[in-house]
Amino acid sequence: MNRLFLTALLACCAPALAQAVPTALPTSQAAPPVAAPAPAAPAAALPALLGLLPASPGWRSADLQYRSAELNLAAARARAGLNVNLGGDVNAAWIESDFKLTGEVTAEAAVSVLPWSPALEAVRSAERALNVARAEKRAAQADLTLRLTRSYTQARAAAQNLALAQQQADLSSELLRIGREQSAQGLLAPADLLDRQASAEQADLSLQSARARLALSGQSLGQLLGQPVTLPSDPAAYADLPRLDAVPGALDTLLARAWAGRPEALRAVAAVADAEGRLRAADLDRLPDLTASVRAGQLAGTTNPASTGAALSGSLGLKSGVAAVQARLPLGDGEYLSGVAANLSGKVYLLGGGRSEAQAQAQAALQLAQLNVETVRQSLALELRQALNDLDLRRAALPAARSTLEAARTALSRAEARQQAGLETALTVAQARLRVVQAQQALSQAETDAALAALSLSAASTELDLNLLQSLTGGSL
pLDDT one-digit tens code per residue, 160-174: 888 888 888 887 888
Q: How far is CA 137 from CA 66, 68, 109, 143, 455, in A?
A: 6, 12, 38, 10, 18
Write down the pLDDT at residue 4: 31
pLDDT digits (tens, 9 = 90+) for 399-443: 999 999 999 999 999 999 988 888 887 778 877 888 888 888 888
Spacing of C-alpha 71 from chain mean position: 22
Residue 113 CA to residue 98 CA, distance in Å, equals: 48
Amino acid identity of residue 411, one-letter, is A
Reported confidence tier of residue 245, pLDDT bands at 50, 70, 90:
low
Residue 186 per-residue DSSP state: T
Amino acid identity of residue 136, one-letter, is E
Q: Would you identify the CATH topology of the domain 2-286+349-473?
A: Outer membrane efflux proteins (OEP) (1.20.1600)
- Give 403-419 as a DSSP string: HHHHHHHHHHHHHHHHH
Domain locations in the chain?
Answer: 2-286+349-473
In this prediction, residues 369-375 reach a mean pLDDT of 93
Residues 6 or more apart from 248 whose CB is under 8 A from it?
254, 388, 391, 454, 457, 461
Rounded (10°) angle between helices 251-261 and 426-460: 60
- Containing 300, the helix (H) or strand (E) segment is strand 289-301
Per the model's pLDDT, the better-predicted residue between 350 and 257 turns out to be 257
Reported confidence tier of residue 474, pLDDT bands at 50, 70, 90:
very low
Per the model's pLDDT, the better-predicted residue between 39 and 333 turns out to be 333
pLDDT digits (tens, 9 = 90+) for 108-155: 999 998 888 889 999 999 999 999 999 999 888 888 888 888 888 888
Residue 165 CA to residue 212 CA, distance in Å, equals: 12
First to last CA, the chain: 59
The three-point CA angle 181-185-187 to 5° equals 90
Task: Let me know how long the chain is.
Answer: 477
Q: Helix, strand, coil % (nearest 5) of the chain?
A: 60, 15, 25
pTM, 2 dp: 0.71
